Structure 1
């Protein structure tokens, strides 16, 4: 075991994957000697050479298009989009090529070896071009798996599983936690299951569901609620799509209450899909309406970032409303 932060865990996962399989390639903007803007790929070019870790032009559509081609011919590309906010120029490649490659060929061809890494989310005073949480856009795209880790242990295990998955994966990394989240990470090669949520803490009164950086937020809210006598069950969704419906439903059938929290705006956020599904499966067991604690329906504001972000007190207010309904 080694103590490392989330960024180091990502780097360790890439190093582990490249050492185990010579088909694994890392590329993106400034990922070579520079190691990327966050240094996630530091020293990989030194260790594996320019043919396996290299810079690309500043063209996101080209990065993903190139990755599609590599994956289609048997390579295992790990493409970095420097910030999730800049993934939109590659949207056409992801929607119309990556997600549909296997389907349109009748399973003759696929790009299942493709992983796209992208730092997402706010909390770093990055303004509206460096703080967005676009996971809901990709949840509407059958054929792609969307994964979000919450801490270093999860980051290494989920990234290794993503790189080796039979389907293309978009791996959103909570950049606010890159250096803030520190923990013990196994030195060995290990994978954590995709498409499976984790019950982080058991409880009986209310279910709190989140992913990525919002897990820390709902944990803080739960601590405050527990002091008031409210027993909170905490679930980390981990995989946005395909999401683990059964784990969430079983929890809500037990607690009768659900709060979903994410940084993305309220309207069309993935919490809406979760709420609709849980309502259809748990309607007669619900003790109160399902609550969503999210970002605002505005561009991400620089000076009002704290007001925009769904923090622990906002989640606690939702707990109060839900418990007192």
Structure 2
């Protein structure tokens, strides 16, 4: 009797499949989408603190435009999950006022492009009040929602606000990449006494990432202002955040096949920025590329390059730093042009060739 057809073997395999052979983080992890990780974070913080509430367009009965607030209205009711009219300037002002009064609002913008309607409240009220009150009035509000490019929604719905809000003192600006980022950083943002702009990526909402038991626990919180090395490497530092991290990791995989190992740094936090991690990496690799979906002028990459130029890290570089960004144009509607307007892995690979082309050539020979 052939062993592979034995009922005894099938029974043995069934029993083995129910056993846990490893408790390592990789094998013990559970895939969770970014959307569900954000939902977990809000749910856990609302359960932990009755001062936390959510407001925005369609966040309650419709469960959120992107289902990030799914199930919260049924669980917490009208007083803590509040549908608002379509008036960003109105409900953002309510959120800031509630924070002045000691509550902890989570203000959802259906897209951060619409936060332009509310930017006076975000900058002039939320960001500046703690300073202008000499520390007497904290403003614990979170402004969150999808940021950056979506797909096929043209110029007025597809721009990155990382540099816009990162420019302003008084705000903390976070840009998660993975599900672990999304949950840990959002919980930290909700607990923080400063106003936080939380920039999510619509394209990443449905993407599953592994989450360990530690990350799934209700007490899991990530520190604000600390970057994560997503992939270690010795030849070139690639700094990115949000969806650009996925682009950088794709490029790193391709470059690895050419003998070039990239150290990919996921910033997580745009303001405050973890420049120490960048500096330590550049001291090791002696080369730097930044990747972002936003426009090049006055962008996040420009800020990183300026900090390198103004610090001893400049003397660690063996070649000029290189920025990979979105094209300096409003987002086109046409699909082919849209793809060309956003940074691609091939653009990062080309930047690496420009920065350390001689080493790539050596590795190929």
- Give the 5 Å matches for 1:1-325: 2-111=30-139, 113-184=140-211, 186-189=215-218, 190-281=220-311, 282-303=313-334, 304-324=337-357
8 Å CA contact 1:6–1:178 kept in 2: the answer is yes
8 Å CA contact 2:150–2:157 kept in 1: the answer is no
Aligned to 2:363: none
- After TM superposition, the runs of 4+ consecutive aligned structure 1 residues lying more than 4 A away are none
CA distance in 2 between counterparts of 1:79 and 1:238 reads 20
SS at match of 1:136: helix
CA RMSD of superposed structures (Å): 1.2
TM-score (norm 2): 0.87
Deviation at 1:2, TM superposition (A): 4.5
Deviation at 1:126, TM superposition (A): 2.1
- Structure showing greater radius of gyration is 2
8 Å CA contact 1:123–1:305 kept in 2: the answer is no
Point out the structure with the larger helix share.
2
Unpaired runs of at least 5, structure 1 = none
**Number of residue-to-residue matches in the alignment:** 324
Deviation at 1:130, TM superposition (A): 2.0
The 1:182/1:203 distance shift into structure 2, 3 A limit, reads: closer
Deviation at 1:39, TM superposition (A): 1.1
Unpaired runs of at least 5, structure 2 = 1-28, 359-365
Aligned to 2:20: none
CA distance in 1 between counterparts of 2:34 and 2:122 reads 26
SS at match of 1:116: strand
1:85-109 per-position Cα deviation (integer Å, ceiling 9, x unaligned)? 1111111111111011101111111
CA distance in 1 between counterparts of 2:48 and 2:263 reads 38
1:34-90 per-position Cα deviation (integer Å, ceiling 9, x unaligned)? 012111111101000100001111111112211111011110100001101111111
